[in-house]
Amino acid sequence: MTRSRRSILGRLIAKDFYLYRWLILATLVAGVVSLVLTRFDDGDGVTTGPNFGFLLFLTTIIAFGVSLPLLVLKEHQSRSELFVLSLPVSLGQYSFAKVAAALLAFLVPWTALTFGVVALTALSPEPDGGLPFFVAMMAFLLGNFCLLTALTVITRSEIAAIAGILVTNVSVTLFLVQLGKIPGIAGRSQDAVATWSPQILTVLAIELAVIVLSLSLAFYLPSRRKDAV
Amino acid sequence: MTTAAIEFRGVSKRYRFFALDDVSFRLEPGQILGFVGPNGAGKSTTIRILMALVRQDAGEVEVLGCRMPEEQVRAKWDVGFVSEEMRLFAGATLDWHLGFVRSFFPGAWDDRYAGRLLQRFHLHREQKVKGLSRGEQVKAALLLALARRPRLLVLDEPTAGLDPVARQEVISELMEVLKDEERSILFSSHNTLDVEQISDQITFIDRGRIVDSGDKEAFLERWRRLSLELPETIALPELPGVVDVARSGQTVVVTANAFDDELPAAYQRAGAEVRDVQRMTLEEIFVATVMHNRKEHGE
């Protein structure tokens, strides 16, 4: 990649970060607030705080993961992309930068929240047994975002995007229910040490494969497109 | 031969319900080409191919000596493009847009000129795009294209949807820009009044085909409408350069696209009385050209 190409991509990605800045910040704040809420457990079996916190956390990440691909689609539909393509930018560079910017934007709160939770849990005296569940869930949410992004940038269709949102959202509940039944996770949340069983490692490997495949398609196919409009 | 600002050679693009068919034209440096056609004629498709937004199925396109779409990034350094359908980012301010475009053209960007255009167009840096009227958005897009001092300006229906005052402001600014004789402009519109004001070359397009092309003054000079009085018993002779004859009783209206003094003389010799010879407006010429071309193609 030449220096000038890197520089063009950098400017396009910076542009998207500017446009997404409040969304990223809001996601980070809502994520942290929801994690704090999960700590509000009065110790006598009342779990309203943790439940609400967990739901808010999930909703925040899912909503963020849905918003970014929709913003990419909106730029195409509102014809703002014509403005960008009037600059010394090729369609391939533009498409690449859109996916890269959306991915990096998603990774900012995702990484901060995932590694924040893992680090705090590992460093605190509390049980680490729930970590594999948490990591698999976060990887699933990342995979869902990548799938939805790929679907949106490849089809550029609102109907396809809505269908993708429905399917990925429903899949979260199904996934979490099934994940809770996997040996090595079921009934291990209060274990002092996290158990990374072969089953959980298999789940993570599948998630990784989905992420890599989705991103490959999202980066490759739109950059081969001949027509912007 | 100098490098053309734009050169299309046998360019075709096929869609399901529309085809751009064997389009060829050339825009020389410093010229202003009015690209005129009815809605759906292929103006926007041609410009999309020119800007590498769409890839042609056949034919060659060169912009400032760069082959399109292969060398589009190199070409776009010197091209300013404003389209009626183009939108700026609604949630961002004009100042952010200025900074964004400037970052691509650090050497060419003219900050003082941008400031002057802001004043002239009554725009404010702090304004968010979503708060701008349609006319102000067009002016903002034009400002962003002009302040980088491009060698070629491509304007696709920039005045569409503007009120008469905003339209005149945009046209006036373009006239100002035209003082730079090195800059070439392709101005696409179905509004012949705008095109007539600023263009020195005219190309008509209809149903995906170029139907006529040439110097604006030559266009205006060679088209005439003649009113004749002719007894109904006498047939009107078929003369070269006549594209339309409308006869009602003794009154005949002849439209000619290759008028010279010989034409009225020939009608007089045939027994007609020439009542009037009128120059035609570009709009009348455009309509007559399109209708004549459709008739020739049996459409």
Is residue A198 within 8 Å of residue A185, measured between CB atoms? no
pLDDT category at A47 given cuts 50, 70, 90 is low
pLDDT category at A42 given cuts 50, 70, 90 is low
Interface A:B, Cβ pairs < 8 A:
73
Single-letter code of the amino acid located at B195:
V
Element (H, E) at B227: strand B224-229
Question: Does residue B263 belong to the interface with chain A, where contact is any CB pair within 8 Å?
Answer: no
Q: Which residues of B touch A78 (CB under 8 A)?
A: 87, 90
Q: What is the 3-state secondary structure (H, E, C) of B199-216?
A: CCEEEEEECCEEEEEEEH
Bridge partners, B205 (sequence order): B210
Determine, for residues B89 and A80 on separate chains, whether the beta-carbon distance falls below 8 Å. Answer: yes
Q: What is the mean pLDDT of residues A183-201?
A: 83
Asked if A18's CB is within 8 angstroms of B83's CB, the reply is no
Query: How far from chain centre, in Å, is Cα A62?
Result: 7
Cα separation values, B79 from A54, A89, B67, Å: 52, 12, 14
Put simply, whether A104 touches B (Cβ < 8 Å) is: no
Chain B residues within an 8 Å CB radius of A89: 73, 76
Strand B66-68 relative to strand B224-229: parallel, antiparallel, unpaired?
unpaired
Tell me the average pLDDT across B236-247. 90
Identify the DSSP state of B105: -
Residues on chain A touching B74 (C-beta within 8 angstroms):
88
Cα–Cα distance measured from residue B204 to residue B210, given in angstroms and rounded to the nearest whole number: 6
Residue B178 binned pLDDT confidence (cut-offs 50, 70, 90) = low
Q: Could you give the count of Cα atoms lying within 13 Å of B34 in the half-sphere of its Cβ?
A: 28
> Are A15 and B90 an interchain contact pair (Cβ–Cβ within 8 Å)?
no
Q: Is A83 on the interface with B (CB under 8 A)?
A: yes
Backbone angles phi, psi at A5, to 5 degrees: -65, -40
Query: Is B184 a residue whose pLDDT tops 70?
Result: yes
Tell me the torsion sign for CA atoms B249, B251, B257, B262: positive
Mutate to test the interface with B, among A76, A82, A89, A93 (most CBs of B within 10 A): A82
pLDDT digits (tens, 9 = 90+) for B89-124: 999 999 999 999 999 998 889 999 999 999 988 899
Is residue B92 within 8 angstroms of chain A, CB to CB? yes
A21 touches chain B (CB under 8 A): no
* CB nearest B54 (choices: A18, A86, A229): A229
Please report residues of B whose CB lies closer than 8 A to that of A8. 73, 104
Q: Tell me the pLDDT tens digit for each residue of B194-227.
A: 888 889 999 999 999 999 999 999 989 999 999 9
pLDDT surpassing 90 at residue A18: yes
Task: Give residue A24's pLDDT band: very low, low, confident or very high (50, 70, 90).
Answer: very high
Residues in chain B: 299
Tokens describing residue B120 = 């002239």
In this model, does residue B257 exceed pLDDT 70?
A: yes
Which chain B residue has its CA at the smallest distance from A83's CA? B86
SS (H, E, C) chain A: CCHHHHHHHHHHHHHHHHHHHHHHHHHHHHHHHHHHHCCCCCCCCCCHHHHHHHHHHHHHHHHHHHHHHHHHHHHHHCCHHHHHHCCCCCHHHHHHHHHHHHHHHHHHHHHHHHHHHHHHHHHCCCCCCCHHHHHHHHHHHHHHHHHHHHHHHHHCCHHHHHHHHHHHHHHHHHHHHHHCCCCCCCCCCCCCCCCCCHHHHHHHHHHHHHHHHHHHHHHHHHHCCCCCC
Q: Is A88 on the interface with B (CB under 8 A)?
A: yes
Cβ burial of B110 (10 Å; 0-12, 13-18, 19+) is: middle
* A88 → closest Cβ in B77, B87, B92: B77
pLDDT at B144 > cutoff 60: yes
Q: Which of B130, B93, B99, B131 is nearest to B114 (CA)?
A: B99
Pairing of strands B6-14, B19-27: antiparallel
Task: Determine the Cα–Cα distance for residues A26 and B34; give it in Å rounded to an integer.
Answer: 49
* Structure confidence at residue B264 (pLDDT): 92
- Contact list, B52 vs chain A (CB under 8 Å): 85, 90-91
Greatest CA separation found in chain A?
A: 63
b/e sequence B55-64, b meaning 16+ C-beta within 10 Å: bbeebebbbb
Q: Flag whether pLDDT at A1 surpasses 60.
A: no
pTM: 0.88
Per-residue pLDDT at A44: 58
Among the listed residues B187, B194, B189, B144, the one whose alpha carbon sits nearest the alpha carbon of residue B172: B194
Q: What is the largest CA-CA distance in chain B?
A: 74
Burial-class residue B220 by CB neighbours within 10 Å (0-12, 13-18, 19+).
Answer: middle
Q: For chain B, positions 108-167, list CB contacts with chain A under 8 A.
A: 141, 145
Nearest to B87 among A8, A80, A229 (CB): A80
Pick the residue from chain A with its C-alpha nearest to B73: A88
Residue at token pair 């809420």: A37
Residue B242 CB partners (closer than 8 Å, separation 6+): B254, B255, B256, B263
Residue A121 to residue B158: CA distance in whole angstroms: 59
Contacts 24+ apart (CB under 8 A), B294-297: B294/B206, B294/B207
**Between chains, do A228 and B87 touch, taking CB under 8 Å as contact?**
no
CA proximity to A221, closest of A106, A99, A105: A99
B102 in helix, strand or coil?
helix
pLDDT at A9: 93
Q: Per residue in A87-121, pLDDT tens?
A: 999 999 999 999 999 999 999 999 999 998 888 88
The complex's ipTM works out to 0.88
Q: Which of A84-98, B22-36, B171-185, B263-277 has the lowest mean pLDDT?
A: B171-185
d(C-alpha A194, C-alpha A206), whole Å: 20
B109, B80 Cβ separation under 8 angstroms: no
Among candidates B81, B65, B52, which has minimal Cα distance to B150?
A: B81
